[in-house]
Structure 1
Amino acid sequence: MILDKSLIEQHNQANQSLHKKKFEALSAVLSGEGHDVKTILEKIAAFQIAIPSWALGTGGTRFGRFAGGGEPRSLEEKIEDVGLLHALNQSSNSISLHIPWDIPKDPKAITQLAASFELGFDAVNSNTFQDQADQKESYKFGSLSHTDKAVRDQAIQHNIDVIRHGVDLGSKALTIWLSDGTDFPGQQNFRRMFERTLDSIQQIYAELPADWKVLVEYKPYEPHFYSTVIADWGTSLLFCNKLGEKAVGLVDLGHHLPNTNIEQIVSRFLMEGKLGGFHFNDSKYGDDDLTVGSIKPYQLFLIFNELVEGMSSPEIKNPELSWMIDASHNIKDPLEDLLQSVEAIKIAYAQALIIDRPALEKAQAENDATLAQEIMQNAYRTDVRALLAEARQQAGAALNPVAFYRESKIREQLVSQRGAKSFATGL
């Protein structure tokens, strides 16, 4: 569906008085602390987060999936939904496709449709963790690491096909998440699995266009629980270094063991110039794929502290990052959840932008842990939502996207158009 922008203007006008008070109060505080509010607003507005095509429907577990109604039934409808999100927040100007769930049958028509919603295409994602109905070889015992060359060749060709789809759409990156691993000790030789995987990815890497990159994702467990081939950031970095300059690491916030210091991992990747991007989500126990910022918002802020410092440092030579969400909305309206996730990401980014960096560096140099904590938490405890709202308003988006979404009964309209039992492809 296409939003009537006059309705957004009416929503903003109705909420203008309260917003103005909040924004002016916050601006006065930040200006008093020496911040350039105009520059911060420009950075917030420029920060865009890609929406994954697989997250536009209700997720599920191995026990069941409960559709929420009005889910997009085709790639075209998924693009419409991302366009709807972008109209509401002006912060989601691209879509990340998963192949073969979302193969564009007519790339030209798809790119034209996306452009009509002011959208582009972020990284394309391959899928060798599931058997498809028409494939000859099974991935039950692995794909790019499989002992059987025929299986590896099939998985390699799939990734090359994904690159070609991406080229047709104007994408510039391939994401490889490899589920390959083992469930029992002795099941496979770790070194040979690594070598087979490296050889497979090298063949894929050779097919990358000159201006592309490949994002190498890691995960310590699941679906295999004894070992995974790319189990951690170190293994991802090892693959990237062996592959070449176009290979970079992808950090999925849910792909870590409990209490892992993710912000330190981010710093290490940046230091090596090998940080490629993020799959944002949140977790309580494992790869829960929950709404960003719903469980560990302070950790998200600490990650952005490293990002803001690293990206602004002349010492760091890192390529431009890809920012993507990877979530599963088991019980929530997917569009509401995505709006909340984008907001949480940009809140953490804005908080990191207002850290008193010179004061923090001085405290660090003097080993003043107390003062360093005060400086960090002063930024974290600042309610920056009025900054985000102002940036949205200036861009023509809604002051409060979730409130507007509900007031306008958008989900009800989607159910009316698509039906109460429509299911989106994806997990």
Structure 2
Amino acid sequence: MTDTTSNAPVDRARAAELTAVGRFLKATELDTRMLGMVAALLVIWVGLHLLSGGLFLTPRNLWNLSVQTSSVAIMATGMVLVIVMRNIDLSVGSVEGVVGMIMGVAQAEFLIRVMGMQLGNPWLWVVALAIGVVLGLVIGALQGFIIAYLEVPAFIVTLGGLLIWRGAAWWITSGRTVAPLDATFQLMGGGPAGSIGATWSWILGLVACAGVIAMLLNGRVQRQRFKFPLRPVWAEIFLGVMTCVAILGAVKVANSYPWPAGVVSKYAAANNIPIPEGGLFIAHGIAIPVLMAVAVGLIMTFVTNRTRFGRYVFAIGGNPEAANLAGINTRWVTMKVFMIMGVLAAIAAAISSARLNAATNSLGTLDELLVIAAAVIGGTSLAGGSGTVVGAMLGALLMQSLQSGMVLLGLDTPLQNIVVGLVLVVAVWLDTMYRKRV
């Protein structure tokens, strides 16, 4: 006969603990999958920091990681909509490459030689960026039209696009690299000049915290107005404090990374600033491409959660037949999703080429893998109907963290690709298991 009385207090304590965790999650309304992804990201960061001998979690590496993540994160926000609608876009990396090449040629050759614009013209980068965005929109519209109205599967259309646009990028310049790019255009790539500095970073961080508090207060007022259940006050305070700590912590890290000594010397000489004996510390602050990625993330979150178009996208992904019977123009919505994806690929192309100060034929190579992996890891289901923009951006940060860490560890590129592929497979498997449990 088994004595179960001795295990009873342990079982009751464990049940009480689980109940406490459940109550906490219910009160704060935190997404368990999102918490799991944040936890996995922190584990990866700590592991890579230890394996790299303390090089990963440094202001310099984290600042560079944020810049490197920006272009993938921007495209991942659009990939969420594509996958939610049960489609796929394998061409985003090639679209990024051909658009980047067109913008490079526009700045270095077409606008100067043909249109007569001079280097340093304040409109040069604006026109080049506009050309890239329009081209991305046209490419997305073309692929979306073929998918939606000619009913060719998205896998085939975008697989063809992967080959076509990559070949077009090479054909435009016969394989040569186009450089240099306009100085103002380069600011979108980050660097000492492509950052907003310490003061503006703190101001922006405080404004963001104020926005978070205002959003929480407004959400509570709206819940009271429509008689929805309210979160406990302590839960609201907890969410506000933790979010503000994360924002201000990110600002602190960005402001801890100084300009290189050579750049500081040139800046001090140009502005007649004496350099003290210990050196002159000038912080980078938040990089412009990171601000662009955050802006895109906010806009795409608003589009998906607060607009009729966003609701249509999720309705189509959940049940295309029912959405069609409900009167939703599923073809036009599908075409618009791919148009948005094209525009986001163009913005990513601008950031990537500006960071390199050149348009190369390798621009965007294999980025489609990173973008799809980021969306899937972020909780976007390949079965359609569910996904979040914030999750996809966190997924992009996780994927880029792995790549950055593997570079610090000196792993070869083929091995890096193996790891990324394995992570993608595991992410899809976890998504499948999660859907079965739900």
TM-score normalised by length of structure 1: 0.23
Question: Which has a greater percent of strand?
Answer: 1
Q: Greater relative contact order: 1 or 2 (C-alpha under 8 angstroms, separation 6 or more)?
A: 2
Q: Which has the larger radius of gyration?
A: 2
TM-score normalised by length of structure 2: 0.23
Question: Which has a greater percent of helix?
Answer: 2
